[in-house]
Amino acid sequence: MILYHTSGQEIKNPDIHHGRKNADFGWGFYLSPDRDFTYRWARKNSVVSEYELDETGLNIHTFTRSVDWFQYIYNNRRTIDGLTADAVIGPIANDTIFDTLGIMTSGYLKPDDALKLLLIGPEYTQVAIKTEKALKQLRFIKSETVERISEEQLKSEQSSYQEAFAKELKKILNK
């Protein structure tokens, strides 16, 4: 599997214990098989590193946008990782997950309604390398310095997403 990671520097030797512990899939080294998506994360003079993951013998858990995926992210945001997997593959939660989880835990949204909000927008895939075993099977290939896509394009996409989110939330609240 070919994977990409965007950072401020080339990362030849990733570390699974660097970064936020309460990310979507918990602690790990995050990548994406979607090359175009990784370029969206780029800032001025960012570096996109390319890797190959040998999946042989790895315990890989794959999620789709579902209640199980939502629950796993919800638990990880509370630093409760309930899986024992070498790698986790699945959709990236949209940017409103903190707000959505907050609204849900406050009792204003049912979990099913919260999931509807998290399904809005495009679906991008992330891969979290969770164990040293999987890390040993991740081989650095190359890297390149890149520039970010236009701010206008990002703002337009964000505006469309916010409109769709507001529309769905209004439908949910008016039930």
Q: pLDDT by residue for the chain (175 residues), tens digit each?
A: 999 999 989 999 999 988 778 888 988 999 999 988 888 777 778 899 999 999 999 999 999 988 888 888 888 877 777 788 999 999 987 666 666 766 767 777 777 787 788 777 778 899 999 999 999 999 999 999 987 666 676 777 778 878 888 888 888 888 7
Per-residue pLDDT at 36: 84
Per-residue pLDDT at 86: 97
d(CA 164, CA 120): 7
Per-residue pLDDT at 95: 62
d(CA 5, CA 137): 16
State whether residue 89 is helix, strand or coil. strand
CB atoms within 10 A of CB 37: 16
d(CA 23, CA 50): 21
Per-residue pLDDT at 110: 79
Per-domain residue ranges of the chain: 2-173
- Backbone φ and ψ for 5, nearest 5 degrees, come out as -140, 130
CA 60 to chain centre: 16
d(CA 3, CA 143): 12
| Cα–Cα nearest to 77, from 30, 21, 121, 155 | 21
Per-residue pLDDT at 150: 60
N- to C-terminal Cα separation, the chain: 44
pTM, rounded to two decimals: 0.82
Residue 141 DSSP code: E
Pairing of strands 87-91, 60-62: parallel
